Structure 1
Amino acid sequence: MTTRSMHGISKPKKPFSLSVSIDDPSISPLPRNPKQALSDPNWKSAMQSEFNALIRNNTWELVPRPCDVNVIRCMWIFRHKKQSNGLFERYKARLVGDGRSQIAGVDCDETFSPVVKPATIRTVLSIALSRSWPIHQLDVQNAFLHGDLHETVYMHQPLGFRDPHHPDYVCRLKKSLYGLKQAPRAWYQRFADYVSSIGFRHSTSDHSLFIFRQGSDIAYILLYVDDIILVASSHDLRKSFMALLASEFAMKDLGPLSYFLGIAVTRHAGGLFLSQSTYATEIIARAGMASCNSSATPVDTKQKLSSSSGTPCEDASLYGSLAGALQYLTFTRPDISYAVQQVCLHMHAPHTEHMLALKRVLRYVRGTLTYGLHLYPSPVEKLVSYTDADWGGCPDTRRSTSGYCVFLGDNLISWSSKRQPTLSRSSAEAEYREVAIAHSD
């Protein structure tokens, strides 16, 4: 066999660059480091805007570095902010703390923070549609800066913005910062305390749903970290709460709900259409299947996936990444819930057969990019659940697989497919367990 190297033929290696995310040459590419960003006027302006917001919010104070304390690093994160249609909107620079270097019990304590459940979002949207209430999205600028810290956290000064008079000083944080382990919890507590003071109370079933009820006036606030949906029974009530929230937080009204958590919301004559087509396209591109043939169904019903099917997968991290991404895609795609649940069972030790099953799901998604979830105005007095169970369907554990869907009026608001936690001795027992699971969820 003759190779090119035997004849002295070679091609120069071109390193693959991840720094450019948008093809338009007029848009500055993503910088590789802060020094490169500071040399670009667009990115420098974005960094200056972020730094000014930090200073205005009194996020830290410069102090001499104490002895024997843990000082965490800070980093600049850059990205192109895009619109719901994928077009460039603006340059985004964010200063984050390196929470990985925090020490539990020293500069961080409790870190858990609730986020709104998908079923809660769909329920509130259904109620708003049935009553023709306005649905608006709010944007909180530098949301985590509003959370007060109860622990003492020291951080190095940000690169490019060190105080020339005190270059050796460190930042003693007074407000939470992105990247800190306790940042989401501090912001949630700060927001929850304020909305409680203006008459809201959080739902007992979902602590990220805040409800206001006074006579005939009703309002809902859905909180997912720094993304907020405000639903009010009248425009005057909405404007009143917008004014109150804007007086306390750096917040603006983005108008009627159109893009939330990566989900495009399209209004039509009949109601709302929720779609994740852009997100689905990104998953397919990440898997390298942008030009693949589509599949008519997401799963092969003739066989069950076993933990020992095939040989170990060569790239387990890619499998886990794609399976996790597909889980979020089920927010608007109940048709792939069972197939995604099956491939997610093997994320800890994926085999070749599992990868083939995952790729089949992706090929199905490739052919159904326009699919999504429709919500229509309908009466909301009736809640109907449908359940089913595959008795002993798991070939490894012989446990049953449960599935249910819940309708509020004519709108599908909740669904699930999961393996039951215990063995069932009969199909009837498996079905009763599923009914219990559907009602408890």
Structure 2
Amino acid sequence: MHKINVHLLGHMSQCETQESSHDSKSKDFRQSDSYSVNETNHTKAPISSTGGTNNKTVPQTSEQETEKRIIRRSPWIDTSSSESNSIHHVVPIKTSDTCPKENTEESIIADLPLPDLPPEPPTELSDSFKELPPINYGQSNSSLGGIGDCNAYNAINSKKRSLEDNETEIKVSRDTWNTKNMRSLEPPRSKKRIHLIAAVKAVKSIKPIRTTLRYDEAITYNKDIKEKEKYIEAYHKEVNQLLKMKTWDTDKYYDRKEIDPKRVINSMFIFNRKRDGTHKARFVARGDIQHPDTYDSGMQSNTVHHYALMTSLSLALDNNYYITQLDISSAYLYADIKEELYIRPPPHLGMNDKLIRLKKSLYGLKQSGANWYETIKSYLIKQCGMEEVRGWSCVFKNSQVTICLFVDDMVLFSKNLNSNKRIIDKLKMQYDTKIINLGESDEEIQYDILGLEIKYQRGKYMKLGMENSLTEKIPKLNVPLNPKGRKLSAPGQPGLYIDQQELELEEDDYKMKVHEMQKLIGLASYVGYKFRFDLLYYINTLAQHILFPSKQVLDMTYELIQFIWNTRDKQLIWHKSKPVKPTNKLVVISDASYGNQPYYKSQIGNIYLLNGKVIGGKSTKASLTCTSTTEAEIHAISESVPLLNNLSYLIQELDKKPITKGLLTDSKSTISIIISNNEEKFRNRFFGTKAMRLRDEVSGNHLHVCYIETKKNIADVMTKPLPIKTFKLLTNKWIH
């Protein structure tokens, strides 16, 4: 029996976290769908559901009640400098920014897609709250959103869905799965014992899903005659293109015995059906088994960063740009290859014992991507008058046009459509360039750009989604969808715990379930990375459990896929900004959930907005173990600043308008530390150096640090699972 002996997580006492305001925030979100706005009443107001700081309002308790709830406080942090500021107003840090000082607070938060909160009357503490049950020190389960027992609040006024509702909605149990896919009836040969923490620590990356077919699958043994004929047609088209581009030396064939084996590269045909329905064949080299001596490991194959594409799209909307989409056929084959390499001829030649020498960068070779990048980069700079933006590979610009390059796909942005046409004419002189969408209409135009289905009406709006793609891909995962026609209202339920008891599975069954998790989380990650930033917390948490495929973990994954299916028509909505002054506004909203991950790591989340439009998000486990809520918030903010500065540089390169940079957090104690010059606030050298660096970054980059109510902090969806009402409230203005 194969065993992995790793100790489970130590128990986390709830009393250690009840004092922390972030934990208070997390519990209040999980227990109730309502909020209280009476935050200035320090005697009768309930524990604030806004949370997120160390100086939130706490109800007065009697000595008897205090004895019932023994709280071990975290080291004290002075927050007196922030108490004088009303929590209903933003608190900007004083910097030497060149932007006008007046109305800076209002300008930072103006036009952000923050929720509208209805006013609510103040509420009294319920009698049931005063009779809280004793704290359970033996809690040892880790939830989808954290560690600890939150059931004390849930038992009082939680509106969480019942277990019966959950079973009715989801119905994706392993029994159903096994019924649809009959497993082997052979007796078990061996079993594998898996510990949760060992499995979480072993996760390094998510393997991509294989979406292609081999030659034998597409042609030799394909029983679909019509599809087989289309693949045969695609095969011959690819061979003709290879010959046209003079990919190999056709004058001489080499005997295998005469060539150094390490210079021989295996090759194969792969087949797939593109999103537009066309059948594609491609002859590729097996670069995965290529000898290290046959390529330069220092060369890089660059593609446009997703944030660069989203930034360019956002600026295009605000500046009424034309968007033109191009495709360069057989792009890699335009790049010569320097090394001496040989491949086996295609199957139809019937020369399995011979070799041919490569002359062009065949798809699949380690160096092909880098060779093509250097080729097209040189042409764009020398022949098209472009320059590459420093620090942002594959983003090229001149005074009139911006180009985003992703392998053989190009997206052009310009104020004047004729500027795009001039670039196209120059590209056609050297490359087989196909115009996918010129973008000349003033009506709504539909694009398919790098997997994003975009609807764009110049000067009005832009909508980004993946409905058609998801409608095609999700059913192929063989996940039971909508068994009774009911739809899920949230991607996950707060208060659910992942059981830490070790698994004991047959070796083959374990591998099959891990592979299944990789497929499901792989698709979810792709969708979340592209535009569904509201799902990133759930995706990140479940991705850590890929190697721990318990029934519960799989059911949670099914629930996430079910929610994506139910909301596949949702889009990321942008509207053209109408600023009072011609400036760009770049804002990051930050949040952290203290100690709610295995090994008491904190979950941090950031959402980036350009002129009020969400262009990206990140949810991840903090790399360092934070010792307080404030430290977790500081860590989250410090993680956001480098990307914020890089985006700021990119925006200024593409659009010469002045830029205002804002950083929003719901932690008043963090703002106090950033503003204050008192080093006594720092408990130790490590915490001090982290905070001092943040001070330097804020002042040196002219960042406006502002306070935002937790009830309006849309980054909260990045750090914990939320009740349905709260989840909808924080996302319905930018995802709908």
Which residue in 2 is equivalent to 1:338? 537
Alignment of 1:291-302 (within 5 A): 291-292=482-483, 293-302=486-495
On the 8 A contact 2:321/2:413 being kept in 1, the answer is yes
Alignment of 1:239-250 (within 5 A): 239-250=421-432
* Bigger fraction of residues in strand: 1
Which residue in 1 is equivalent to 2:330? 142
* DSSP 3-state at the match of 2:557: helix
> Distance in 2 between the 1:351 and 1:201 partners?
51
Amino acid at match of 2:566: G
CA drift of 1:290 comes to 3.1
Amino acid at match of 1:327: S
Match of 1:76 among 260, 269, 273: 269
Segment of structure 1 superposing worse, 289-298 or 339-348: 289-298
> Distance in 1 between the 2:476 and 2:271 partners?
22
Which residue in 2 is equivalent to 1:113? 301
On the 8 A contact 1:47/1:94 being kept in 2, the answer is yes
> Distance in 2 between the 1:127 and 1:247 partners?
29
Match of 1:351 among 546, 550, 554: 550
Counterparts in 2 of 1:309 and 1:234: CA distance versus 1, 3 Å: farther
On the 8 A contact 2:454/2:463 being kept in 1, the answer is yes
Which residue in 2 is equivalent to 1:386? 589
Which residue in 2 is equivalent to 1:204? 390
Alignment of 1:44-83 (within 5 A): 44-62=232-250, 63=252, 64-65=254-255, 66-70=258-262, 71-83=264-276
Alignment of 1:96-245 (within 5 A): 96-106=284-294, 109-110=297-298, 112-161=300-349, 169-197=354-382, 198-213=384-399, 217=400, 219-245=401-427
> Distance in 2 between the 1:20 and 1:144 partners?
19
CA drift of 1:42 comes to 4.2
Which residue in 2 is equivalent to 1:11? none
Counterparts in 2 of 1:356 and 1:182: CA distance versus 1, 3 Å: same
* DSSP 3-state at the match of 2:427: helix
Which residue in 2 is equivalent to 1:323? 521
Whether 1:274 aligns to 2:451 is no
> Distance in 2 between the 1:68 and 1:47 partners?
30
- After superposition, the C-alpha distances for 1:161-191 in whole angstroms (9 at most, x for unaligned) are 468xxx8642211111112222222222211
CA drift of 1:278 comes to 2.9
Segment of structure 1 superposing worse, 289-298 or 179-188: 289-298
**Superposition TM-score, scaled by structure 2 size:** 0.51
Segment of structure 1 superposing worse, 175-184 or 127-136: 175-184
**Superposition TM-score, scaled by structure 1 size:** 0.83
Counterparts in 2 of 1:162 and 1:240: CA distance versus 1, 3 Å: farther
User: Displaced runs of 4+ in structure 1, greater than 6 A?
Assistant: 18-21, 309-313
Amino acid at match of 1:286: L
> Distance in 2 between the 1:278 and 1:307 partners?
38
Please list every run of 5 or more consecutive structure 2 residues that lacks an aligned counterpart in the other structure: 1-209, 440-445, 644-736
Please list every run of 5 or more consecutive structure 1 residues that lacks an aligned counterpart in the other structure: 1-17, 22-28
On the 8 A contact 1:287/1:322 being kept in 2, the answer is no
On the 8 A contact 2:388/2:395 being kept in 1, the answer is yes
Which residue in 2 is equivalent to 1:410? 612
CA drift of 1:147 comes to 2.2
> Distance in 1 between the 2:423 and 2:574 partners?
26
- After superposition, the C-alpha distances for 1:336-366 in whole angstroms (9 at most, x for unaligned) are 1111111112224333332222112112112
* Bigger fraction of residues in helix: 2
CA drift of 1:50 comes to 1.4
Larger gyration radius, structure 1 or structure 2: 2
Amino acid at match of 1:323: I
Which residue in 1 is equivalent to 2:205? none
Amino acid at match of 2:519: S
> Distance in 2 between the 1:168 and 1:108 partners?
28
Match of 1:31 among 219, 226, 230: 219
Counterparts in 2 of 1:40 and 1:426: CA distance versus 1, 3 Å: closer
Amino acid at match of 1:283: I
> Distance in 2 between the 1:415 and 1:304 partners?
25
The CA RMSD over aligned residues, in Å, is: 3.1
* DSSP 3-state at the match of 2:453: strand
Counterparts in 2 of 1:57 and 1:283: CA distance versus 1, 3 Å: same
On the 8 A contact 2:295/2:367 being kept in 1, the answer is no
Bigger relative contact order, structure 1 or 2 (CA pairs below 8 A, ≥6 apart): 2
> Distance in 2 between the 1:91 and 1:328 partners?
23
Match of 1:259 among 407, 426, 448: 448
Whether 1:399 aligns to 2:597 is no
On the 8 A contact 1:294/1:366 being kept in 2, the answer is no
> Distance in 2 between the 1:435 and 1:20 partners?
41
- After superposition, the C-alpha distances for 1:247-283 in whole angstroms (9 at most, x for unaligned) are 1221111113611222211235832211112333313
> Distance in 2 between the 1:432 and 1:306 partners?
31
On the 8 A contact 1:311/1:352 being kept in 2, the answer is no
Which residue in 1 is equivalent to 2:479? 288
Counterparts in 2 of 1:182 and 1:19: CA distance versus 1, 3 Å: closer
* DSSP 3-state at the match of 2:606: strand
Which residue in 2 is equivalent to 1:95? 283
- After superposition, the C-alpha distances for 1:314-336 in whole angstroms (9 at most, x for unaligned) are 41111012112111101111121
> Distance in 1 between the 2:280 and 2:470 partners?
23
Segment of structure 1 superposing worse, 383-392 or 255-264: 255-264
* DSSP 3-state at the match of 2:584: coil
On the 8 A contact 2:479/2:558 being kept in 1, the answer is no
